[in-house]
Amino acid sequence: MKRSSIGFIVFLVIAFGAIYGVSLLTSRLSQPETSSPPVHHEETAEVQKTSAEFQGLMPTPTGNVKGSEEAKVKIVAVLPPSECQAPTLRVLDEIAKAEPKRVRVEIYGMGSPKGQQILQQYNQSCASVFINGKTKFTLTSNGQTREVICQKSPGMSYQSTDLIEIVHLELKRLYGKGFDEKTLKQLREKGKQIVAGGHGTTSMESTKAKVVVEVLTPAQQGTIYPLFAQTVRALEELKERFGDDLSVSVYPIVTADGQKRMKELKLNGPAVVINGKTVHEIPGPNNSKRKVVTAIGSGERMFTPSDVAEIVVAYMKQAKGKK
């Protein structure tokens, strides 16, 4: 009896300890973490905005169709629900709005029955943009000819802006006339805006500028892209402040213009070139000087949008003769 009683008491102690431990663990898990990293609300808002825009561009289960059934230029895109496809979706949306009578755009999800049917029809298995039944085209720009394949993610075998040029050629071939000059210019500028993160190039340029900034941005799916998108936004704010005294040009390096400008500036990658330089000295604390390098891959500390803004303001003061 004594042994049974002792065993029973030991069992009760162990059981009570287990219950208390589980209760303590549960209470800790239910409490908010006090040491969690701070939330950057601006970055969170930007991500939410981007996601919302992307979701609005993705087709419904039955597809997204725009343009006349009688159009001779027919674009059929079969794409996955991936944000890397956002530039292509946005460019196709702009093309559809620009030429609703002569161009028909159909967008289907890869997982939809219609999307699968189209891929099987063309014996394909990856994301594809078919323009009059083809995905392979030859484009010539800046004296260079290249073959583009409108498959997989933009930035691999084609750029989203290539779709504008392909449709322009198809309109010429089938109608004898491509986009009119004004529309083509607007589409090309909009294409740059899309690839560069939704910001323009022409509207921020000035021939009377005291400070000239050229932003060579990376591919939209690149890990450093958010840094450059935020930098462009900071420059837009400075443009509102300084007007024609500041000129800002954006060159996505995945485009032909971007590659050309990068070679002209003798750069190896994305950069912010201010008054022709990527190495700058700006005022630091206690009358010191602070070195800032605004190019990626230099081995120096990564610059910030605030650094770029400080450099622009410092150069502007020098140009205007202010201390």
pLDDT for residue 220 is more than 90: no
Q: What's the rounded Cα separation, in Å, for the pair 41 and 133?
A: 45
pLDDT for residue 35 is more than 90: no
Confidence of residue 197 (pLDDT cuts 50, 70, 90): low
Average pLDDT over every residue of 266-277? 95
Predicted pLDDT of residue 97: 95
Residues 216, 222, 224: CA angle, nearest 5 degrees: 65
pTM for the model: 0.66
Domains recognised in the chain with CATH numbers: 59-195 (3.40.30.10), 202-319 (3.40.30.10)
pLDDT for residue 311 is more than 60: yes
Q: Cα dist. 7→16, 139, 206 in Å?
A: 14, 86, 89
Which tokens is 85 given? 């496809």
What are phi and psi for residue 143, nearest 5 degrees? 75, 5
Predicted pLDDT of residue 13: 47
Beta strand pairing call for 144-149 and 211-217: unpaired
Predicted pLDDT of residue 202: 45
Predicted pLDDT of residue 83: 79
* Backbone CA torsion sign across 191, 193, 196, 201: positive
Average pLDDT over every residue of 199-206? 57
The DSSP bridge partners found for residue 247 are 212
pLDDT for residue 18 is more than 80: no
| DSSP per position, 146-208 | EEEE-BSSTTTS--TTHHHHHHHHHHHHHHS--S-HHHHHHHHHHHHHHHTTS--SGGG--TT
Predicted pLDDT of residue 243: 92
pLDDT for residue 309 is more than 90: yes
Which tokens is 136 given? 């392979």
pLDDT digits (tens, 9 = 90+) for 115-128: 999 999 999 999 99
Confidence of residue 32 (pLDDT cuts 50, 70, 90): very low
Q: What residue has token string 């040009």? A: 249
Q: Which of 1-5, 62-66, 114-118, 306-310 has the least mean pLDDT? A: 1-5
